[in-house]
Amino acid sequence: MAINFFVNRDSIYALYRKQINGRRISLTYFPGIQINDDWNPDRQRFNSKTKELEDLNKRLLEVEVAFNKVLDTHDPFRLENNKLAALIEENIQNKPRYTPFFDYCDIYFEHASKRFTRRRSQQILTSINKLRDFSPNLTFEQIDKKFYRDFTQYLMDKELSTNYVGSIIKNLKRILNYATENEDNKNLEFKNFKKPSEEVYNIYLTEEEIEKIYNLVFDEKMIRAYHKDKEQFLSPRSISLQIKALDQARKLFVIGCWTGLRVENYLNIDPEIHIDLGNGFLHAIANKNGPKLRIPIHKLVRQIIERDGFPKSVTQQRLNEHIKVLGEMAGIKDIIIYSRTEGNKRIEHTRKKYEMITTHTARRSFASNLLSRGIPKQFIMAVTGHKTESNFNKYTAAVQKDIMTEKLADYDVWDGDAKSKKKAKKIKKAEN
């Protein structure tokens, strides 16, 4: 039921309104919370800048949950505000030691939306919905080893990939850790939950492929050729907009390939603050929480900035869409064969390379290309932010396999000459 929070003379009150068959009711409850400059009337919550404000939001959630429970068990048309207040306060005082899991998820999601990116917050919400589908009345007490096994198998039976299942378990543990830290959960069995995972094949672009994208020049003929099946729907204005959008994406992606920055960082570069063309460095935070670094400016990045200025930012979603088009136009069409576990089966996939290009490919290409040039790992890790060499090796697994294959090909065993000569010596010795 819809409970809304409003303000009357700097005091917050909860309001429930309903009209049935011409009968109207309006119930209010004042929890004794004063507003301040951090009150957000649109969200009907405080902006959680401090622990004190987070605690106030928890109290508001408690009021909302208790208010709804009273309405579930009483006829609202027979309630008066004094009786309502007594029932809400009784409900809050006598709430179970362990909050029902999905009631608590509202508290956590409020926290997550402030701390994480929109994409991460959406992933957490998706994980919560998967949990709700599996067990709509889940409580903290029920989250034990049996729950973990059954829930994991439930996800596998839906033929989800192993790493996707792992991300859901990781988000579940995030929520439980937060609840435990706030003394709202005493069940610690989740500490032993393992996140399912497997190595996946992630592509990188070679220097030559990056240069192919950099060298793309867009015109009407190219756009019409790309959309040949829909050419009749193209207008001069739509072609002009596509040319502009693709060129913008081209510049941003190449900058990402030669700075090693996370996409959220290279899309938010302020040229006035972060770029020093005179000394040849870009100043930026290259990893999630790391210090500012001086990253040498690659010649292609310099050419983009000097010729056209730093490109305007776009959304990650839009950039992801455009860079696949760039890859196809640049002829990056090698066939990639890889396999992954989906449900309980190992499934083989075949895709063209340009179809696998994402915004994150830029950062992986940066690390891979520097490594293939023989630059020490610790220098590259200083920019990418990897803390251990083992994690860096997983991140650059594709290029390391390519390097090993190329070195293996240098040995003379493949043409058979060395073995033939050795065999000839044995025959000659036997004849003597």
The Cα 367–Cα 383 span in angstroms is: 9
Shared domain check, 281 and 142: no
- Strand, helix or coil at 342? strand
Q: Quickly count: other Cβ atoms within 10 Å of residue 361's Cβ.
A: 24
Q: Could you tell me the residue range of the domain that residue 352 belongs to? A: 207-395
Q: How many CB atoms lie within 10 A of CB 365?
A: 24
Predicted TM-score (pTM) above 0.95: no
Q: What single letter denotes the amino acid at residue 323?
A: I
Q: How far apart are CA 326 and CA 212, in angstroms?
A: 9
- Kindly state whether residues 106 and 123 are assigned to the same domain: yes
Tokens of 16: 């429930």
Extract the residue ranges of the chain whose pLDDT is less than 70.
1, 95-99, 286-291, 416-432
Residue 425 counted as domain residue: no
Q: Which of 66, 58, 59, 61 is nearest to 94 (CA)?
A: 66
Domain assignment of residue 169, yes or no: yes
**Are 160 and 254 part of one and the same domain?**
no
Residue 389, in any domain of the structure:
yes
Statement to judge: residues 219 and 303 lie in one domain: yes
Kindly state the tokens that stand for 418: 């060395």
Q: Is residue 418 part of a domain?
A: no
Residue 264: closest CA among 256, 274, 272, 273: 256
CATH number at residue 297: 1.10.443.10
Q: Residue 116 has what pLDDT? A: 80
Number of domains in the chain: 3
For position 168, which CATH number holds? 1.10.150.130
pLDDT in tens, 64-89: 888 888 888 888 888 999 999 999 99
Backbone angles phi, psi at 39, to 5 degrees: -75, 130
Give me the helices (H) in 184-257, please.
Answer: 207-214, 220-226, 236-257
135 and 8 fall within a common domain: no
Alpha-carbon gap, residue 362 to 369, rounded angstroms: 11
Residue 337, SS3? strand
Q: pLDDT tens digit string along 300-334?
A: 999 999 999 999 999 988 999 999 999 999 999 99
Contact 380, 371 (CB under 8 A): yes
Per the CB < 8 A criterion, the answer to whether 354 and 327 are in contact is yes
Same domain, 117 and 241: no
pLDDT of residue 288: 55
Amino acid at 256: G
- What secondary structure letter does DSSP report for 139? B
Q: Of 29, 64, 93, which residue constitutes the final position of a domain?
A: 93
Distances 108 to 112, 115, 124, 172, 264 between C-alpha atoms, Å: 6, 10, 10, 11, 23
Which are the contacts of 386, defined by CB distance < 8 A and separation ≥ 6?
Answer: 392, 395
The pLDDT, as a whole number, for residue 71 is 87
Does 181 reside within a domain? yes
Q: Note whether 159 and 18 are same-domain residues.
A: no
Same domain, 119 and 231: no
Residue 422 lies in a domain: no
| Residues 121 and 186 grouped into a single domain | yes
- Asked which of 93, 116, 133 is the last residue of a domain, the reply is 93
The closest of 29, 37, 26 to 12, measured between CA atoms, is 29
H or E element at residue 7: strand 4-8
Q: Is residue 407 part of a domain?
A: no
Taking the C-alpha atoms of residue 343 and residue 341, their distance in angstroms, rounded to an integer, is 6
So what's the pLDDT on residue 95?
62
388 and 276, same domain (yes or no): yes
Biggest alpha carbon–alpha carbon distance for the chain: 118
216 & 282 share domain? yes
Q: Would you say 338 and 353 are in contact if contact means Cβ atoms under 8 Å apart? A: no
Burial state string for 149-184 with b = 16 or more CB within 10 A and e = fewer than 16: eebbeebbeeebbbebbbbbbbbbebbbebbbebeb
Residue 114 lies in a domain: yes
Task: Give the pLDDT score at 148.
Answer: 94
pLDDT at residue 306, as a whole number: 93
What's the CA gap between 302 and 300, in Å, rounded? 5
Residues 279 and 338 in one domain: yes
Last residue of a domain, one of 59, 74, 93: 93
State the pLDDT at residue 289: 57
CA–CA dist 45, 178 (Å, integer): 19
Per DSSP, the three-state class of 295 is strand
Residues 6+ apart with CB under 8 A from 80: none
| Distance separating alpha carbons of residues 370 and 395, to the nearest angstrom | 13
